[in-house]
Amino acid sequence: MAVVFEKPKALSDVPFHYCPGCTHGIVHRLVAEVLDELGVEGNTVGVASVGCSVFAYNYFNCDMVQAAHGRAPAVATGLKRALPDNVIFTYQGDGDLAAIGMAETVHAATRGENITVIFINNAIYGMTGGQMAPTSLPGQVTQTSPYGRDVKVAGYPIRVCELLSTLSGTALAQRVTVDSVAHVREAKKAIKKGFENQINKRGYSIIEVVSTCPTNWGLSPKEAVQWLRDNMLPYYPLGVYKDVTAEGGEN
Amino acid sequence: MAEKVLMKGNEALAEAAIQCGCKHYFGYPITPQTEVAAYMSKRLPKEGGVFLQAESEIAAVNMVLGATSAGVRAMTSSSSPGISLKSEDVSYIGGSDLPALIINVQRGGPGLGGIQPSQSDYWQATKALGHGDFQLFVLAPSTIQEMVDFVSLAYEVGEKYRVPAMILSDGMLGQMMEPVEFPQKKDEPVADKPWATNGHKNQRKKNIINSLYIQPEELEDLIKERYQRYEKIKEEEQRAEEFMTEDADVVVVAFGASSRVSRSAVMQARAEGIKAGLIRPITLWPFPDKTIEKNVDHTKQFLCVEMNMGQMVDDVRLVVSGRKPVSFFGRTGGVIPTPAEVLAEIKKLAGKEN
């Protein structure tokens, strides 16, 4: 009988600790499928960050390093400079990448550090129980913005792909989501491109995945997907913000 | 015998690291260690290595964490305020059982402090460079030759026990010049690092470099295992130099730059008929308590001389445990004590003030 779907080999056979309706599981699978398709699992080192995906080192079958909060791009830089022919990726959330680790992120990108960054943007700190993130939307209620994010006090959410697209070292900055089959396919294509860029030594690739956090948004999984469509996507439009391969040039 | 060359401390240390196979340097500019980075930026590209000026001290030490995880010898250097910034990730390096080399060319503190030589990071280096239960192997050179020799020692001990190592230098040793000799290159095989995350090639189980353990019992077990290694380091890696201590009535204890001043004072005291001696701790952690202990019975008293307000003196007092008086003399803020000042202290203690 033909196998139409199976668990990717680069994904461990252990249950995820993620909440129902959280999109980490889908994104993990997409990354693992890409590692399988490119045949690079044995040559890959992943860097887990701090946040809900901190245990990513238990889920991917490649070698893994667990980095301090926000420091994954610097750890990945050290790995990549020591192992230029290996595939190095980071898997980071919005608090990790866009708040405490923004310096490491911007500088890894501007150096054209030849790594692949998977960025999960769910507009909230999940692991610590739902605090305001650098990507929380204006008016969004969180544990630390109980009256809604007041931009006069807390400022505005950061659009990471737009920001990084201005840097010469960025090879790919693309925002995707996984709320539908079509979008999941698109996300996988983007992730694959991010890894191919690295193999072809094109520089820094970031794939931002607009994601859900039903638990901390206080919504059911189904409601969370709808909230993502109604609120996240208008502020964080999907699309390619920079792609050196489309520009016809190599970084 | 290799040829002697006249070199600045910071540059000699950097050259020694390259000769030890350190091909990955990550740093950030800060006085008075900048020559380490400058030297590395000149030499490493020609050695097929990597010099990278990081966006911050924190990023630099994380790059070291990454490169060390890959199994290569890596290094970062800084000076006191920069070391404070690195402390977060030195804790991660310790908690992940990684060897790594961190250089602190100390300057005055706290805060931005000053840029003159100091030893006021003794506590930080030996007790609390970062959160959690962990230690660094800490070496204190007192000559430029030791700035060279201790680099290989730091790598070897660090890799043997899988602990981070620090060379605790200071602005005086970093900036001064002395003739040095580089040891003949050894053709030793690179230490086996089966734990390295360098891609499993589908030939071994995956490796994970990690410091997170949610189950308290598991974390406790790991820390206890690490402390067994620390006990072994305490047993086997203590180092100290003794100078004229056999019959000394006053034993001066001083490390690094202040030990140079103290040695002059001890020689002057001897010339004046005072039985003075010097213990120079070479490893600050593990603290050379065996050498101190050996001298407790026969000496009348100890005098700690430091370029701070009294930090190592705590460790001396712990060993001496009240059996003999332990006094302290120090200058701080970047001021280097003079031999005359130390001699005056020795004389005061020996009851020969005039």
Tens digits of residue pLDDT in B11-36: 999 999 999 999 999 999 999 999 99
Query: Nearest CA to A90 among A179, A198, A185, A186?
Result: A198
Give the pLDDT confidence of A102-135 residue by residue, as tens digits.
999 999 999 999 999 999 999 999 999 999 999 9
3-state helix/strand/coil string of A104-128: HHHHHHHCCCCCEEEEEECCCECCC
Query: Nearest CA to A78 among B45, B52, B208?
Result: B52
Picking from A42, A77, A106, the nearest residue to B63 by CB comes out as A77
Q: Do B154 and B124 fall into the same domain? A: yes
Q: Which pLDDT value is given to residue B348?
A: 97
Torsion, Cα of A95, A101, A103, A104 (10° steps): -140
CATH number of the domain that B147 lies in?
3.40.50.970
Distance in angstroms (rounded) separating the CA atoms of residues A240 and A237: 10
Q: Which pLDDT value is given to residue B329?
A: 98
Alpha-carbon distance A72 to nearest alpha carbon in chain B (angstroms): 8
Q: Do B144 and B193 fall into the same domain? A: yes
Q: Does a structural domain hold residue A249?
A: no
Q: Which pLDDT value is given to residue B190?
A: 62
CB spacing of A67 vs B62 below 8 angstroms: yes
| Contact status of B89 with chain A (Cβ, < 8 Å) | yes
Q: Which pLDDT value is given to residue A95?
A: 97
Picking from A45, A54, A65, the nearest residue to B199 by CB comes out as A45
Q: Does a structural domain hold residue A91?
A: yes
Q: Which pLDDT value is given to residue A1?
A: 80
Instruction: Give the residue numbers spanning the domain of B141.
Output: 4-199+223-236
3-state secondary structure at position A173: strand
Q: Do B191 and B247 fall into the same domain? A: no
Picking from A41, A47, A68, the nearest residue to B88 by CB comes out as A68
User: What's chain B's average pLDDT?
Assistant: 96
Provide, as residue numbers in chain A, all residues whose Cβ is less than 8 Å from the Cβ of B72.
82
Distance in angstroms (rounded) separating the CA atoms of residues A156 and B170: 45
Number of domains in chain A: 1
Q: Does a structural domain hold residue B354?
A: no
Q: Does a structural domain hold residue B218?
A: no
CB spacing of A83 vs B198 below 8 angstroms: yes
CATH number of the domain that A114 lies in?
3.40.50.970
| Contact status of B52 with chain A (Cβ, < 8 Å) | yes
Q: Do B176 and B280 fall into the same domain? A: no
Number of domains in chain B: 2
Separation in Å, CA B51 to CA A67, A118, B46: 22, 27, 10
Q: Which pLDDT value is given to residue B187?
A: 57
Going across the sheet that includes B164-170, the strands are B50-53, B24-27, B74-78, B100-106, B164-170, B137-139, B283-285
Q: Is the ipTM of this complex over 0.90?
A: yes
Q: Does a structural domain hold residue A10?
A: no
Confirm if A102 and B55 have CB atoms less than 8 A apart.
no
Q: How confident is the model at residue B192 (pLDDT cuts 50, 70, 90)?
A: confident
Q: In B162-255, which ranges are continuous DSSP H helix? A: 171-175, 216-236
Q: Do B136 and B88 fall into the same domain? A: yes
| Contact status of B308 with chain A (Cβ, < 8 Å) | no
Give the pLDDT confidence of A184-215 residue by residue, as tens digits.
999 999 999 999 999 999 999 999 999 999 99
- Cis upstream peptide for B32 (omega within 30°): yes
Q: Is the pTM of this model over 0.90?
A: yes
Give the pLDDT confidence of A61-90 residue by residue, as tens digits.
999 999 999 999 999 999 999 999 999 999
Q: Does a structural domain hold residue B205?
A: no
Instruction: Give the residue numbers spanning the domain of A205.
Output: 24-243
